[in-house]
Structure 1
Amino acid sequence: MNHQSLSSFIWSVADLLRGDYKQSEYGKVILPFTVLRRLDCVLETTKTAVLAELESRQQAGLNPEPFLLRKAGQSFYNTSPLDMKKLMGDQDHIRENLYSYVQAFSPAVRDIFERFDFHTQVERLGKAGLLYQVTEKFAQIDLHPESVSNSQMGLVFEELIRKFAEISNETAGEHFTPREVIRLMVNLLFIEDDDVLSKPGVVRTIYDPTAGTGGMLSIAGEYLEEHNPQARLTMFGQELNDESYAICKADMLIKGQDVANIMPGNTLSDDGHLHKKFDYMLSNPPFGVEWKKVEKEIRKEHEQQGFNGRFGPGLPRVSDGSLLFLLHLVSKMRPAAEGGSRFGIVLNGSPLFTGGAGSGESEIRRYVLENDLVEAIIGLPTDMFYNTGISTYVWILSNRKPEARKGNVQLIDASGFWQKMRKSLGSKRKELSDAHINEITRLFGEFVEAEQDGKPISRIFKNQDFGYRTITVERPLRDEQGKIVLGTKGKQKGKPQPDSSLRDTENVPLNEDVESYFKREVLPHAPDAWIDHDKTKVGYEIPFNRHFYVFQPPRPLAEIDAELKQCTDRILTMIAGLSA
């Protein structure tokens, strides 16, 4: 059964809920029951062995947990003689039996159902007289891993969440990233490490601070399994939304990951993996979301810990916290001497250029560029995400750049790499094909400048190409007679005083001499001007689109004139026809 027909079948449960539940509340029932049925099916084949093991270990007076995990062949178990099919045999006690069944799961699974607030939904369904019917509906679905693979199950969860988000006017994009975008990011993340990753017994860590339902971690795991079944990827994550966290945790459980590595809560204000470093990281933080709620904790860390904390380089404006996640990931990089790290993060256009010299945003860009951390930035097509049509960019950062990349940044314009989707999903109308992903991966891997149809699609720059100095240009203050006013005290004595109304600033590229620029660009227009060097600031911005702009000369004037004459002649003919 493919994920769409499966999710349509699960969706039919909504027909039972209609009237007793608002549309926006369907997910509160359907998501936890889907997870419950999946776990139920996963444990089905080992159920008898687990119960027999429980009895023998209890009789021997031993802690049964490690033995039960081994028998279950999973990182979770259930000690109830009941399962979802058996629940159907006692309609009158469905509520009590369902509670008893869920309580018999190992602690990590019980936490999942607490996050879903499952107890409240069971009580509500019971009062509405729907509990037996809903449970029966799910007991009929075959979600056994042999019928529905882990990756299919991930797609089912995504499909359901997207549907619930649409009908409750929430932003589905807060929960997950399109699969093909993750595949591209995973390709770019691992591309230079294929040799290392193909060695048997390799263990690497991967981390997502905005884990959502775990899609990024899952696809990274699938990639590695495909390329090297002997390699092991240990997954870590943190997620703020309780429902997404519960699904991510369930997904990780089924994949045999240690769910203690998936933490709840706000990554920015309460880092769930304090002092940990990782080999690889991926993140798609919410676009342009303000961080006012956690401003106090973040400012405190910035001011008190400086560069010993996560936010030493600076803080962006409160209206957009994207760059805070970038800094958080930088702080999680394994030191280069211990093998280093690489990470990919999806950001909107704002972090590329917002904020002038000296601003928090510019200082963060300055930090990552001057420390040679940015490997590449890839511009994606618009309409790629479920909740927004805006332009998005994948940043790849590393503190173990290959020799050829050192001191350089590669910009790849992949905005033309897309195919139209057969059916739009929210704001998502375009997708990357396998061929597009392969081409972007090739451009990145070969680290070359390239053109397509006469337009640049890959360009390589020096880090300092994005830097500039903002100089303050002063003009003298003059009295009513037009004479220059001179200072009378201290350091300013005898020096021309600046006229604040004539003050101006100029941005001088870092790789250009300030005095030469001043003589060429300013003095011919303002011979009495000077630079106030005390006010000079260094700034960094990445004007991505400007570097891919191709000038198209306007059409010849004669051609435009001829077209206008044709048009006016046609109008005159029409007017003549009307007056005849």
Structure 2
Amino acid sequence: MAKKKTTKQPARQPSKDKKSGGKSIEESLWDAANKLRGSIEPSEYKHVVLGLIFLKFANDKFEERRKDLLAEGKEKYLEMKDFYNMKNVFFLSETSRWNYIIKNAKQDDIALKIDTALNQIEKNNPSLKGALPDNYFSRLGLDKSKLASLLDTINKIDTQKDKSQDIVGRVYEYFLSNFALAEGKGKGEFYTPKSIVNLIAEMIEPYKGIIYDPACGSGGMFVQSIKFIESHHGSKQEISIYGQEYTNTTYKLAKMNLAIRGISANLGEKAADTFSNDQHKDLKADYIMANPPFNQKDWRGQQELIDDPRWMGYEVPPKSNANYAWILNMVSKLSHDGVAGFILANGALSGGGEEYKIRRKLVENNLVEAIVILPRSMFYTTDISVTVWILNKNKKTHTRSIGDEERQYRDREEEVLFMDLRQIGEPFEKKFIQFSPKHIQDIAETYHNWQQAMTDYKDIPEYCYSATKADIEKKDFSLVPSKYIEFVNRDENVDFDTKMSALQTEITDLLSQEEESKGDLLKVFKELGYAIEV
């Protein structure tokens, strides 16, 4: 496979709706909702809009089931929630139904009525416990006329019109993505860009068994796992989903996101910290997909978690950075044949101290299967390049079925595949990069050909290299891809650690000069008789 250069194709857009002047349903709804937002922050407003979309979806499913009961001559069961839940349909009491909300859309207490409706839906459907927005509509003091207009806009969505198109799933995904963009750098951590999630799913192939995400955000990893299964004609009944999320509002987003797609999941009893309150202590997962917080500081107290069983004889991860705590948490949750695909900041690829010792043991224990460096500007919250790690507890020869295909994986136990994807991708929303479906297919194919020791796998300069454990030992257990992949179009190979050290020194010098200049300026003003408070 030849190295792919960055293409200039436009990003793929949602399918268009002729009735809305060429705009997709998602785009039209987003434009309408955004105009009505006013001064409310996107981080707050997303719960309002997504809560209403969920309410409309739940109502449409409810009304469809209600019509089926009438057609079957079961009028006496119309108000019995068991006859809805048995078909994975949420039961809605009369004041929780969409037509009741629309009839009262212009009333002064409409915000309270919506909050009450969402609260009643949670009470009537145990699987939604802790999922829906809690008093957002009353608390935010939404303008009554704007709220009525938003309700009218959402009322135009027929979520059951074309089930093959997953209209509500498309709308929800589009809104999650756009709210992440709107919240910008330092926020929007609830969302991992879709093309990255798709890449991980295509590489680790979560076809059947238990899937776990210890920092599940809005549940995107789970959604794409199910899509992978469906695209390979599998059954989501053969998958069990477990996750955990620290932030309460994001926990609600995840539960809603999964509920509208009919995906059952155990996300724990409540939002909770994975380290201090592990809600899946005895879990052994066949697949782990995760995008944990990067370089998380002070994740444990001075003496807390020193003897945690998740460290399994490895060194205790440093308090100053949780990257390796996330890694060991995931390793401890893998089943005998389990595979994990997760994202970390590039700094985890090298470094000393406890991190070095843990990284060395991971390599020596043959757990590291692939290290894949991604392009910059793929995330909405940071423009740094990050890395996909793939850990595999069964790198030895084995056979595995994916759909109708049976694959023979040969012995790669003593090797690690390094991939550099920094020159691959297409523009998205002007300043971001994403992988196209073709990119994802090609990258995953390279990885699977390597796994199976196929004759058409070969090391490609500036793209991929299969390193032996001896190679990695010679590099003192650094996992920086540029230490292994050949770069033929450069005068010299770039040493990541050296470059970062030089950059760190340069930035320190610039900050020092800035501080010195500021002092000189203040001194001049003082000599002129003008004091400046800093």
| TM-score (normalizing by structure 2) | 0.73
Q: Which amino acid aligns with 1:345?
A: F
Give how far 1:184 is off.
Answer: 1.6
> Which residue does 2:330 correspond to in 1?
329
Give how far 1:24 is off.
Answer: 5.8
* Contact 1:316–1:324 (CA under 8 A) maintained in structure 2: yes
Q: Which amino acid aligns with 1:138?
A: I
Give how far 1:86 is off.
Answer: 3.1
Corresponding position: 1:410 with 2:417 = yes
Cα deviation code 1:538-567 (max 9, x no counterpart): x63223212124366979xxxxxxxxxxxx
SS in 2 for 1:144: coil
* Contact 2:285–2:333 (CA under 8 A) maintained in structure 1: yes
Comparing 73-82 with 240-249, greater Cα deviation is found at 73-82
Corresponding position: 1:276 with 2:295 = no
Give how far 1:331 is off.
Answer: 0.6
* Contact 2:366–2:413 (CA under 8 A) maintained in structure 1: yes
Cα deviation code 1:196-248 (max 9, x no counterpart): x5xxxxx5111111212111111111111121334622222112233332222
Tell which has more relative contact order, 1 or 2 (C-alpha 8 A, sep 6+): 2
> Which residue does 1:88 correspond to in 2?
102
* Contact 1:173–1:387 (CA under 8 A) maintained in structure 2: yes
1:97-112 alignment to 2 at 5 Å?
Answer: 97-105=113-121, 106-109=125-128, 111-112=130-131
Give how far 1:366 is off.
Answer: 1.7
Give how far 1:382 is off.
Answer: 2.3
SS in 2 for 1:236: strand
In structure 1, how many angstroms separate the alpha carbons of the residues matched to 2:161 and 2:242?
Answer: 23
Q: Which amino acid aligns with 1:548?
A: I
Cα deviation code 1:377-433 (max 9, x no counterpart): 122222222222222221111111133111221212232322x32532xx52x2222
Equivalent pairs, count: 445
Q: Which amino acid aligns with 1:211?
A: C
* Contact 1:311–1:324 (CA under 8 A) maintained in structure 2: no
In structure 2, how many angstroms separate the alpha carbons of the residues matched to 1:206 and 1:227?
Answer: 17
In structure 1, how many angstroms separate the alpha carbons of the residues matched to 2:152 and 2:91?
Answer: 22
1:137-536 alignment to 2 at 5 Å?
Answer: 137-144=153-160, 146=162, 149-150=165-166, 153-171=168-186, 174-190=189-205, 203-230=208-235, 232-261=238-267, 264-290=271-297, 292=298, 294-296=299-301, 299-301=303-305, 303-305=306-308, 308-310=309-311, 312-334=313-335, 336=336, 340-355=337-352, 359-403=353-397, 404-418=411-425, 420-421=426-427, 423-424=429-430, 428=432, 430-447=433-450, 450-452=458-460, 455=461, 457-467=463-473, 509=474
SS in 1 for 2:103: coil
Corresponding position: 1:542 with 2:479 = yes
* Contact 1:161–1:172 (CA under 8 A) maintained in structure 2: no
SS in 1 for 2:239: strand
Q: Which runs of 5+ in 1 are unaligned?
A: 59-63, 198-202, 468-508, 511-538, 556-580
* Contact 2:47–2:136 (CA under 8 A) maintained in structure 1: no
Cα deviation code 1:166-220 (max 9, x no counterpart): 4444545512222222222111112xx8xxx5xxxxx511111121211111111
In structure 2, how many angstroms separate the alpha carbons of the residues matched to 1:88 and 1:37?
Answer: 11
Q: Which runs of 5+ in 2 are unaligned?
A: 1-13, 17-23, 398-410, 493-534
Give how far 1:314 is off.
Answer: 2.5
In structure 2, how many angstroms separate the alpha carbons of the residues matched to 1:439 and 1:126?
Answer: 48
Cα deviation code 1:34-69 (max 9, x no counterpart): 2222222232201356799796599xxxxx554431
Corresponding position: 1:79 with 2:93 = yes
In structure 1, how many angstroms separate the alpha carbons of the residues matched to 2:339 and 2:377?
Answer: 27
* Contact 2:345–2:387 (CA under 8 A) maintained in structure 1: yes
Change (3 A) 1:95 1:441: closer
Comparing 127-136 with 245-254, greater Cα deviation is found at 127-136
In structure 2, how many angstroms separate the alpha carbons of the residues matched to 1:382 and 1:96?
Answer: 44
Give how far 1:81 is off.
Answer: 6.2
Change (3 A) 1:24 1:286: closer
Q: Which amino acid aligns with 2:59?
A: D
Cα deviation code 1:447-475 (max 9, x no counterpart): 166344xx2532222224323xxxxxxxx
Q: Which amino acid aligns with 2:254?
A: C
In structure 1, how many angstroms separate the alpha carbons of the residues matched to 2:186 and 2:491?
Answer: 42
| TM-score (normalizing by structure 1) | 0.68
* Contact 1:122–1:131 (CA under 8 A) maintained in structure 2: no
Q: Which amino acid aligns with 2:54?
A: V
Corresponding position: 1:35 with 2:43 = no
Q: Which amino acid aligns with 1:142?
A: D
